[in-house]
Chain A
Amino acid sequence: MAEAVKHEQTLPSHPEKATLEGKNKFLGFWFFLGGETVLFASLFGTYLGLRNGVADGPTSQDLFHLDLVFIMTMILLTSSLTSVFAMINMKKGNFKGLIIWMWATVFLGACFLGFEIYEFIVYVDYGLGFTTSAFASSFYTLVGTHGGHVLFGILWISTLLIRYRKAGITLTNAPKFYVASLYWHFIDVVWVFIFTVVYLMGV
């Protein structure tokens, strides 16, 4: 065992890709994100095809307010930065920094989700139910799928943070944190298109 300890003490410059498992996870997760691109494209396309199909319900012009969307965008953008900080700390070997910045990411994600739920409640009160019109259904499906991704990300990252709260950076958990942060960035990438295509083009 003495020999092994000597081995594992060195911190590789890319702990997330230091093992074959880590490399596989990294590549596999990127490919998954490639597939997710098509998934969201299908939802975007459906929304864009149906956004004028408002029937008797409210239109996007009646509903959308830029101030709320702006705040949500800033929150999510900042959460992307905090997860970047977490990864820099991981590569520096600073476990505490990794944990703190990841929790910050989770917190900002939860704020974002809270605003989104609030937004949906306001819209429903205004008369835009899920079944009101094709516009309503496709809007809730697109934005809701994104929100579902945020929720899953929060649960996933929290699980990792609680499970590894005292573990230190290891060859096993570094890839896990790394792909979770990739996932989080991807959520932000999707949101950039949502605020542009859905909200800015819908006001």
Chain B
Amino acid sequence: MSNAQAQKSVLWDWLTTVDHKKIGIMYLVAGGFFFALGGLEAILMRIQLMFPNFDFVTAQTFNELLTMHGTTMIFLAAMPLLFGFMNYIVPLQIGARDVAFPFLNSLGFWLFLFGGVLLNLSWFLGGAPDAGWTAYVPLSSEYSGTGIDYYVLGLQISGLGTLIAGINFLVTIINMRAPGMSMMRMPLFTWSSFVASALILFAFPALTVGLLLLMLERLFGATYFAVDVGGNVVIWQHLFWIFGHPEVYILILPAFGIFSEVLSTFSKKRLFGYSAMVFATLIIGFLGFMVWAHHMFTVGIGPVANAIFAVATMAIAVPTGIKIFNWLFTMWGGRIQFTTANLFAIAFIPSFVMGGVTGIMLATSAANYQFHDTYFVVAHFHYVIIGGVVFGLFSGAFYWWPRMFGYKLNETLGKWFFWLFLFGFHLTFFVQHFIGLMGMPRRVASYLPGQGIDELNFVSTMGAFLMSVAFILLVVNVIVSVKNKSEADPWDGRTLEWAIPTPTPEYNFAQTPLVRELDALWYEKTHGNGKIKAAEPLDDIHMPNGSILPIFMSLGLFLASFGLIYQVHPVTIIGLAITLGAMFIRSIKEDHGYHIHKEDIKKEEGVG
């Protein structure tokens, strides 16, 4: 039975794969592409704002660029890139052979990709969405073109994929842990992925409903947001932010997890205050659901309501502070190695704290009336998202690259990349605090000269150019380092993912590992013979079969979306029929997978 696997072509293998490692890599590739696209959109905006009254792009194009930049970066770049790491690393860190639902894992990826492609096709088919990534009604319901239809359906499809991925990670982490891997022995990256997945589970349904309502309003004439027939526009804002605020924690928590791994590995010390870190992660996740109205302080929901949400928002600073101090104490007295991964982790701390401080300023609801919708807000959220999430992604990339691709990224180029990016980032966004305080509103396509913001805008654009140069260096690094083969455990790692041979075998662990302590591999290095003990004798390994059905399910929804947007309902029906048909086949066809034989495993592992 196992022989049938070897004969597939490479392309077919990747299209049908249900292997969490390959899906992780596909998330990284697709996410990386959208990251570059979102970055390009940002650069075009910064060029437009380089000089007052500049005519580089039209105001309409500018609106489309700013909408697509935000939407792409959040939904199609940051989240998929994190999913890439979560997919590849979490099963390895808990000693599992795969995720709980390999088929759904693949479905989640393809839904995300088709949703992302659908959203971006709007550029060529009548203009991209132009109502901001928040798509507030009635601007998005009554005054926007077909771009918003692409936004609604593209995000609906990719959001479905995200929800599936979230459930998958939750079940994987609960049910698939190796013997001895209790919850309180899980590496912090796994813990933060777990909490982020729970946030996905409870936050995304609100977005699903919000997008559904907006779609019904735009395409079928429903009247939830039409004030003249009893509608209310604040409902959209609530639904969007009930999802939207947890979303930023969905992004930042896995990044926190990455920093915890990296700082502890490169300080050669156990993470300081492990249980406090876990507790802080849970508290942040919990509080993350009770603060969304701080995005709506100026809407007019009332002073008491504003005060409650302001206090809840400020409370989040406490668990976050616990984390910051624990990272500092992890480094304290450690033998710190300044690798690129660790440089990003160290630079994250001050950068993110700055974003946190402006966050507290914005949470002060009275002062928020001044800051609202100015560049001060833009500076704040880029400090937390770039200084937190993007630094985390780069740190994780340099740290896990040898595990995922079998080669090490060049450290010299990496350090050039780090310094250029760090400098460019602060240059771009630090000045935006002052631009905002001087009164420049966000989302404007141009500004008049002589208001004291010309030079600052120019400086900001220069910083953006530096960041692009840095990003190009990263791409170069990825290509030129290919020959730089890496051993299995290049960083003297502490956790299970470094205990297996490289390249990672299809079945991950020939024998399910036995975990005896937090930082399982480090424990064996210091208390044992440096090898992880096995929890079972070597035996045949059961593997799931690949499937092409996820692509068809996603393709069906993709087609149906076009039918809905252009009101050609035969196409809608055909699309939905493809999706339901694929689900039907999946339901009636029993597929019990195949086995890799003991002898083949012995051969591959080089034993016997």
Q: With A24-B175, A141-B222 as given contacts, are A42 and B229 in contact (CB-CB < 8 Å)?
A: no
Say yes or no: is B171 at the interface (Cβ < 8 Å to chain A).
yes
CB distance B101 to A55 under 8 Å? no
Q: Which of A27-35, A95-103, A112-120 contacts B (4 or more CB under 8 A)?
A: A27-35
| In the complex, chain A residues whose CB is within 8 Å of the CB of B584 | 159
Interface string of A41-67 (1 = CB under 8 A from B): 011011001101111000000000000
Interface string of B152-186 (1 = CB under 8 A from A): 00000000000100011011001110000000000
Say yes or no: is B604 at the interface (Cβ < 8 Å to chain A).
no
Contact of B224 among A46, A52, A156 (CB under 8 A): A46
* Complexed CA–CA distance, A24 and B206 (Å): 25
Least Cβ distance of A117 to chain B in Å?
Answer: 18
CB distance A39 to B209 under 8 Å? yes
Q: Which residue of B lies closest to A38 (CB)?
A: B205
Contact of B205 among A42, A53, A136, A156 (CB under 8 A): A42
Contact of A35 among B101, B163, B174, B175 (CB under 8 A): B163
| In the complex, chain A residues whose CB is within 8 Å of the CB of B174 | 27
* Complexed CA–CA distance, A39 and B163 (Å): 12
| In the complex, chain A residues whose CB is within 8 Å of the CB of B202 | 34-35, 38
* Complexed CA–CA distance, A130 and B238 (Å): 23
Least Cβ distance of B264 to chain A in Å?
Answer: 30
CB distance B167 to A31 under 8 Å? yes
CB distance A134 to B232 under 8 Å? yes
CB distance A50 to B232 under 8 Å? yes
CB distance B242 to A133 under 8 Å? no
Q: How many B residues face the partner with a CB closer than 8 A? A: 43
| In the complex, chain B residues whose CB is within 8 Å of the CB of A135 | 230
Which chain B residues numbered 549 to 607 have a C-beta less than 8 Å away from chain A? 584, 587-588, 590, 592
Say yes or no: is B35 at the interface (Cβ < 8 Å to chain A).
no
Which label, helix, strand, loop or mixed, suits the secondary structure of the B interface? helix
| In the complex, chain B residues whose CB is within 8 Å of the CB of A176 | 587
CB distance A28 to B167 under 8 Å? yes
Contact of A53 among B101, B212, B222, B232 (CB under 8 A): B232
CB distance A131 to B208 under 8 Å? no
Q: Which residue of A lies closest to B231 (CB)?
A: A134
Which chain B residues numbered 313 to 346 have a C-beta less than 8 Å away from chain A? none
Contact of A130 among B203, B221, B228, B239 (CB under 8 A): B221
Say yes or no: is A89 at the interface (Cβ < 8 Å to chain B).
no
| In the complex, chain A residues whose CB is within 8 Å of the CB of B588 | 159, 163
Say yes or no: is A94 at the interface (Cβ < 8 Å to chain B).
no
| In the complex, chain B residues whose CB is within 8 Å of the CB of A130 | 220-222
Q: Which residue of A lies closest to B580 (CB)?
A: A155
Least Cβ distance of A46 to chain B in Å?
Answer: 6
Q: With A28-B168, A42-B210 as given contacts, are A141 and B230 in contact (CB-CB < 8 Å)?
A: no
CB distance A131 to B221 under 8 Å? yes
Least Cβ distance of A159 to chain B in Å?
Answer: 6
* Complexed CA–CA distance, A133 and B231 (Å): 8
Q: With A39-B205, A141-B216 as given contacts, are A28 and B231 in contact (CB-CB < 8 Å)?
A: no
Say yes or no: is B413 at the interface (Cβ < 8 Å to chain A).
no
| In the complex, chain A residues whose CB is within 8 Å of the CB of B167 | 28, 31-32, 35
* Complexed CA–CA distance, A131 and B220 (Å): 8
A-B contact pairs, 20 of them (CB 8 A): A24-B171, A28-B100, A28-B167, A34-B201, A35-B167, A35-B204, A35-B205, A38-B203, A39-B206, A42-B239, A43-B209, A46-B224, A49-B232, A53-B229, A55-B229, A130-B221, A132-B223, A134-B230, A137-B231, A163-B587
Closest 9 CB pairs of A and B: A53-B230, A39-B205, A134-B230, A42-B209, A137-B222, A55-B229, A134-B231, A24-B100, A38-B205
Given pairs A135-B230, A156-B587, 9 additional interface contacts (CB within 8 A): A34-B202, A38-B203, A39-B209, A42-B239, A50-B232, A131-B220, A134-B224, A137-B216, A172-B590
Chain B: residues with CB nearer than 8 A to chain A?
A: 100-101, 163, 167-168, 170-171, 174-176, 201-206, 208-210, 212-213, 216-217, 220-224, 226, 228-232, 235, 238-239, 242, 584, 587-588, 590, 592
Chain A: residues with CB nearer than 8 A to chain B?
A: 20, 23-24, 27-28, 31-32, 34-36, 38-39, 42-43, 45-46, 49-50, 52-55, 130-138, 141, 156, 159-160, 163, 172, 176
